[in-house]
Structure 1
Amino acid sequence: MDIRFQLIKPRKQNRPSPQKKSPKEIRLISPSQSKGLQYEQAAIELLIAKGLKLLEKNLSCKCGELDLIMKDGNILVAVEVRVRKNNLYGGAITSITKSKQQKLLKTLAYFLPYLSHKHFQSKQPFCRFDAVCFQESPRETHWLKNIFL
């Protein structure tokens, strides 16, 4: 069955039960995950300041994950957030390889029926992929629109 024609809802986060959890059951995030969440929030703030509207974040399925889903007018924008310490190996944008692009395309195709239904009155919107790239040293931020087709 073609997944493009199914209305799929994103996975819900496991909600903690009212019972107390043992220390083994409590999931702590690593320092790198914490840093990633901070940069993701910085990307949201940057894009909202530029006039985009946040629709969803961290949609994941078996195909992959979409960091941010934004709306730019009537266009659905899937945003990949990337961070690198420096530009020694090409920086953050070069880390979005051809295989990563294919994963992003498959993941968006998976969620497109859900996103169309929830945010675009069940009409399939025009879509684009953007990237917000952060470099820590020297500190730089780049918003790249329509990074691939």
Structure 2
Amino acid sequence: MQDCGSDHPGGDHVARDRRRAILEGAARVIARRGVRGLRMDELATEAKVSTALIYYHFKDRAGTLRHTLEFISERAERYTSVEGDALAPQDAQQKLEQTLLLEFQDAPEVRENSTVWGELRASAIFEPELRVGGAVRLLSVITLRTGGIHR
């Protein structure tokens, strides 16, 4: 992310808040309309920012999608955190099972994340940049969560 607003007191905080608003808005729009339905003008309205600010933070539509994938992945890591992340290797399978069960919570954020993740994953077939980013992100989450389960 570019450093915007750092010349003003609290500028970094404002920039982070706007960036987060854009990413939250992108997740909502993608959940409603799909990746192909994501339009920058609608995203700007949803996030209550200008389209210029979206392009300032994310450069282009592909950058917005890539950062939205990172955003929902990080959000999922928060709501799937399992107590005792330092479990012994033999408990890694149990930790993975608990993490997967947390992906089925009946919460709006979880439903939205699941919808957006599915949309982005399906779109990765047509957008190589999403394919690589999504695969790397998925593998890192699996590795982190399993702690190296070996059979």
TM over 0.5: no
- TM-score of the two chains, using structure 1 as the length reference: 0.29
TM-score, L = length of structure 2? 0.28
